[in-house]
Amino acid sequence: MLTTAQLASQTTYTALSSFFERAGYYGMRSILLLYLVSNFNNMEKEDVTLLYSIFIAAYVLARPIGGLITDLLTGVKLSAIIGLSTMSLGSFALAFGNLITPFPGMILFIIGSALFVPANFTHMLRIYSDRESKTDGALSIQYALINLGSLIGPLITALIIDFDNFRPGFICSGIFLLCGLAFTILYKEQPIESQPKRKPIFTNRMRTLALIGIIVGIIVYWFAYTATTSHFQFALRPPQFGYWGEILPIITLIILASIFSVLWFFFDISSTWKWTYGILITGLAILICIFFVTNYRPSILLSLLITILLSLGELLVAAYWYSLVKRFANPKFLCTIIGCTLGISSYLAAFFSDLFQEKIHNGFLGSFLGWAGLVLVGIVSLILSLIYKKQDTLADHEDSSLADNSLLDQ
């Protein structure tokens, strides 16, 4: 068991490694397409765009494999170290694309991310295995730094490149990743929990169904969120704010995550209820878009309200579902399950959102179907939250009764 000081330091190392990894990845990604277009003169622009799309798809779909390798072979700390080392090598390979083709650099990024991302979240969950009520506060800190990294990386990269020389941008990305690597070396890997500390609430079959439900719920959530933000982007990025309107959603999310990182250390609310509230709040934000934004440009106040609701819903769902997965997953395969959920949900949500936006050309229909799916998921989550609360209360009574009887026997 970690002491309070060790827990604080491990939380800091894990969150900062996430920050630098996101800064490095999004810094690289912000210039990759332009780099490919300028360096593949013998390819049509459509073919380059297809290559870029394949890279993004492989980047997220490789995560289940990386999670499985972590669980079976390397362990969390070694996977995180290898992952960020490989990604940094990928950045430096792209920086010298005039000597070698960009493909090795892109492949190294795919392999490195597959190993690092699931391992990083798993490490955060395991260091809080003895203080589960504080897990969501730590995840809030991590989520705030993840979004801050995704904002800072492209900004710094854009400042140091020109369209004739992308090398400084890729080198900057590699330096970010090496900074993250320095923090992963300081990870103190925790043992896998082999036995539950209390009587299990659900059977193995119910736990499996719960995990499937979480994965489906995450897919529905990200599809609804992506479809809505794509179709109603003019409402979420008020032109009156200029450049600040572009980054307003990220800034709002960072502020909310910072507030909740403190709040959850004082108030103990179950992750199942946070998930349910997040689903319902996101559904409310989408409903406001459907009714009040479809036919006219909203006011600044309405845009701010929608942005805050979507950011709050994202925080409650996207940051805290890891706690739910840990509760129901087999501890020996936690990294694999996180990798599967991250990879499958990201890919399918983007696929269906693009289907409605680009192929069917009906973003409104995608937003409406996403809202309907969220309502259904929210109702089911509400019912299951009530059932879980009841079962949890019964388990507490049984545990206390067993403890009392053991004292009497003594």
Q: What is the pLDDT of residues 121-152, one digit of tens each?
A: 999 999 998 888 889 999 999 999 999 999 99
Q: Is residue 405 part of a domain?
A: no
Same domain, 176 and 292: no
Q: Are residues 207 and 257 in the same domain?
A: yes
| CATH number, position 118 | 1.20.1250.20
Shared domain check, 284 and 308: yes
pLDDT score for 37: 81
My answer on whether 208 and 146 are in the same domain is: no
Residue 150 and residue 58 share a domain: yes
* pLDDT value at residue 410: 46
Residue 278 lies inside a defined structural domain of this protein: yes
Residues 59 and 145 in one domain: yes
Rounded CA gap, 222 and 372, in Å?
13
Q: What pLDDT is recorded for position 209?
A: 85
Bridge partners of 162, per DSSP, are 165
Interval 73-82 mean pLDDT: 95
- Domain end residue (candidates: 185, 209, 225): 185
pLDDT(237) > 80? no
Same domain, 151 and 240: no
**Structure confidence by residue, pLDDT tens digits, 253-311:** 999 999 999 998 888 888 888 999 999 999 999 999 888 887 677 788 888 899 999 99
Identify whether residues 181 and 234 lie together within a single domain: no
Alpha-helix residue ranges (DSSP H) falling in 40-102:
45-61, 63-69, 76-95
| Domain finish residue from 134, 152, 185 | 185
Residue 361 domain-assigned? yes
Task: Give the pLDDT of residue 385.
Answer: 76
Q: Are residues 142 and 267 in the same domain?
A: no
Q: Does residue 407 fall inside a structural domain? A: no
Same domain, 168 and 237: no
Range of the domain at 117: 1-185
In this structure, of 15-24, 180-189, 389-398, the range with the lowest mean pLDDT score is 389-398
Q: Write the burial class of residue 84 (CB in 10 Å: 0-12 exposed, 13-18 middle, 19+ buried).
A: buried
pLDDT band at 73 (very low <50, low <70, confident <90, very high): very high
Residues 226 and 312 in one domain: yes
Question: Residue 254: its pLDDT value, please?
Answer: 94
Choosing from 185, 214, 243, the residue where a domain stops is 185
Site of tokens 């006219």? 296
Q: What is the per-residue pLDDT across 179-229, written as a single tens digit (0 to 9) for each?
A: 999 999 999 988 886 544 544 556 777 888 888 888 999 999 999 999 998
Distance in angstroms between the alpha carbons of the first and the last residue of the chain: 28
Q: In the structure, what pLDDT confidence band is assigned to residue 241 with cuts at 50, 70 and 90?
A: low
Please give, one letter per residue, the 3-state secondary structure of 289-302.
Answer: HHHHCCCCCCCHHH
Average pLDDT, the chain: 86
Inter-residue contact 61 to 97 (CB < 8 Å): no
Count of structural domains, the chain = 2
Between 364 and 194, where is the model more confident? 364
My answer on whether 240 and 352 are in the same domain is yes
Please say whether the beta carbons of 238 and 381 come within 8 A.
no
Is 404 inside a domain boundary? no
Q: pLDDT higher for 69 or 33? A: 69
Tell me the per-residue pLDDT of 313-361, one tens digit each, with 9 for 90 and over.
Answer: 999 999 999 998 998 888 899 999 999 999 998 899 888 888 888 778 7
Query: Does 194 fall in a domain?
Result: no
pLDDT in tens, 35-52: 888 776 566 777 788 888
User: pTM of the predicted model, to two decimals?
Assistant: 0.89
